[in-house]
Chains A and B, each alone.
Chain A
Amino acid sequence: MNARSELSIATVLIGFSMLNYFYLIPTQVVAEGSSPVYPALINTMLLCFALAYLAEGVRCWRKEKLAQSEGGSCSTGGGKLMVRPLAMLVVTGAWVLSMEYLGFIISTFVFLMIASRIFGSKSWSKTLILSVAMPLIISFVFRGLNALLPEGPAEELINLILG
């Protein structure tokens, strides 16, 4: 991560703490009847640290400008966000949201099929075995424990078969 992105993160954090001061605390804390002391205290801490972070970022940025070579960076962390993690996020989100409507078995099957592709699975047969077996095994364990997973068409079918 370069100094510029450190600076932008620090700015975002400062922006968030402002939002917290002027919008979130009044509407979500004070309006509900809670004491704003503790949230405001933490928020002030956040603001202070974010400012310090910003200052450090500026120092870094200057240094980087001076020494344009690769050794000049003093920022930590690194790497851009990549496509696959974002795809994973979207797929997992779709799974979690659809679970209530599709039921656990079907939604998990679809999720596993897609997610293992994202993770570069090459063997269709293995993927298929996992995607069928895992939801079934989990749902039978839960059934055995008399606990509920979100239900959908597949579960109703099993209920019908089992009586």
Chain B
Amino acid sequence: MGEIFGNLWDGAVFALSLWNILAILIGYAIGIIAGAIPGVMAVTAMVLILPYTFTLEPLFAIAMLMGIYKGGAYAGSITATLFNIPGTPEAAATALDSYPMFKQGMQKRSLEIALWASVFGGTVSNFLLVFTAPPLAEVALRLGPSEIAALILFSLTAVITLLGDSRMDIWKGFISITLGLMLATVGLDNMSASRRYVFGIEDLDNGVPFVLTIIALLALSEVFIQAEKVGGFTLGEAASAVSKIIPYTWKQRWLDLKICLKDLIRSSLIGSLLGALPGIGATTAAFVCYGEARRSAKKNARFGDGDPRGIAAPEAGNNAVAASSLIPLVTLGIPGSVAAAVMYGAFMIQGMIPGPMLMMEHPEIIYGLFVLLIVTDFLGAFVIALPFISVVQKIFKNLNYSLFFPGVVVCCVVGVYAEEFNVFNLRIFLALGFVGYIMRKMGMSIPPFILAFILGPILERNTRTALLLSNGSPMIFLQSPITLGLLILAAVALGWSLWRKTRGGKSVLEVPEEFKH
């Protein structure tokens, strides 16, 4: 432990120069702008900027990319709050509560809760990265295909809390889940290298890209929904709410912290654990955290109607993923997420290969990076994010909605295009946007669809890999105590949630129709 502090000190001496701090701030600003523009991902910004890091100082380049990553992880919640249009997939869960809260005139409150929860989650996972990276990486490695499959199944049960309360809603929710699983089967089946539902189109071989799907279902469909409202005075709906902004007092802040603290801690830990596992990602973590917060709350909670915990939990969770997804990278040299893969590239461009060797040969670089990471959350939040929020709020007051929504469509399309530079993707994007609109009209909620769409393929792949390893014997799921435990947990969670939904009667608060996704 003492050694770590020594290393941290060396890293701080090595890394904390004015230049590197500037790099963080520039990066954070780029990240926050990219993240706040619907459809443009922080990762896309990282990828586009990556080639330019060839000519930069190593730590400057990496600090900047780190800043983009962190800024983007928070910024998606801004548009999610103000327009119900998540700027990034990670913020999809946040919108469930932050938009309703905003509509009650508490925009400052919901934006700030999201920000502070992000800082909290980010910081917890930064420290976990610094102090527990090697053991956590070891745990992540030990989880084999069968354990991961069980873990995903358990995570998937968080979906149940996202469903409505009437029987009709529950059936629709299950249909939504199955449709999500179905869409995810499109593409090459990796376990047999053959096609499923591809219709001979090569562009579909890699499946429907997930960022595109989420932006289409949530952002584009919202634009269609808003298009309906043109003519009435409710365009942008929230415009009326601006007149009665409720100030966010220090007392209220203190109260919110007290309410949310438990969820903040739990979400930060869940987010860090899920982040350390390759391929699960921030969007899932956010939904799982949201689901867990909801599951553990009392029956009278105002989830779906602007509960502060409904904002804090997913935001802390998705930001916790940011740092912990670097754990496999620095300890094993294995990038666990798209963003980590870009960081890997950035290291390689600078002539370093991240992993245990780099940790041994150049601890000052790795620990320097850690110090910068810890600094990023605070500096970014105070120097960039807070001013940015107030600017956004000012712009928001005189927003011309009839120009804003077409602009959103353009941003989404450009963002989707910039991911793979494939025009074909735009067609899928548009089609899915309309599907999302129709689903919302039919009262089918979108979040279960998304969660199933992300987790379905991981579940299928790991289940089949496990069966391949056991020569087809399903006993592999019962032999490992972890797998068995998780499976039992999943079954219990599923049963309990369903029982609570059907037996517990309706929740105290009726959730108004338009707050549902």
Contact = CB atoms under 8 A, between A and B. Distances in A.
Are any A and B Cβ atoms less than 8 Å apart in their complex? yes
Interface of A: 1, 6, 9, 13, 24, 28-29, 32-35, 38-39, 42-43, 45-46, 49-50, 52-53, 56-57, 60, 74-79, 81-82, 84-85, 87-89, 92-93, 95-97, 99-100, 108, 111-112, 115-116, 118-123, 126-127, 130, 134-135, 138, 142, 145-150
Interface stretch (B100-108, B256-264, B404-412): B404-412
19 contacts: A9-B442, A32-B198, A34-B194, A45-B174, A45-B181, A46-B179, A46-B182, A52-B171, A75-B168, A76-B164, A77-B172, A77-B442, A77-B444, A82-B228, A108-B410, A116-B402, A119-B406, A121-B402, A135-B410
A119 B400 CA distance: 10
B195 A1 contact: no
A120 B197 contact: no
| Minimum-distance CB pairs A-B, first 3 | A77-B443, A115-B406, A121-B402
Interface of B: 48-49, 51, 164, 166-169, 171-172, 174-175, 178-179, 181-182, 185, 189, 191-192, 194-199, 223-228, 230-231, 235, 400-403, 405-407, 409-410, 413-414, 417-418, 421, 423, 426-427, 429-430, 433-434, 437-438, 440-444, 460, 464, 513
Given A53-B172, A119-B402, A134-B407, A38 B228 contact: no
Contacts of A120: 230-231, 235, 402
Contacts of A92: 409, 413, 430, 433
B441 A34 contact: no
A88 B223 contact: yes
B313 to A, nearest CB: 25
Contact of B403 (A50, A75, A116): A116
Contacts of B226: 119
A13 to B, nearest CB: 7
B179 to A, nearest CB: 7
Nearest to A81: B441
B227 A56 contact: no
Given A46-B182, A116-B406, A84 B426 contact: no
Nearest to A146: B51
Given A38-B185, A120-B230, A74 B171 contact: no
Given A77-B442, A96-B427, A60 B168 contact: yes
A29 B403 contact: no
Given A88-B223, A119-B226, A119-B401, 8 more contacts: A29-B197, A32-B196, A39-B197, A46-B175, A46-B178, A50-B175, A53-B168, A78-B441
Contacts, number: 181
A130 to B, nearest CB: 5
Contacts of B430: 89, 92-93, 96
Contact of A77 (B51, B196, B441): B441
A150 B353 CA distance: 35
Task: Please classify the interface of chain A as helix (H, G, I), strand (E, B), loop, or mixed, using the class held by over half of its residues.
Answer: helix
A147 B421 contact: yes
Contacts of A39: 182, 185, 196-197
A94 to B, nearest CB: 10
Contacts of A79: 228, 441
A92 B442 CA distance: 22
Given A126-B403, A130-B407, A146-B51, A28 B196 contact: yes
B402 A35 contact: no
A149 B415 CA distance: 11
Contacts of A112: 406-407, 410
A33 B192 CA distance: 8
Nearest to B443: A77
A119 B167 CA distance: 36
B230 A147 contact: no
Given A9-B442, A119-B230, A74 B166 contact: yes
A24 B171 contact: no
B171 A53 contact: yes
Nearest to A29: B196
B230 A118 contact: yes
A51 B423 CA distance: 38
A92 B182 CA distance: 26
B426 A96 contact: yes
A93 B402 CA distance: 19
Nearest to A35: B192
Contacts of B433: 89, 92
A10 B182 CA distance: 17
A20 to B, nearest CB: 8
Nearest to A55: B171
B228 A85 contact: yes
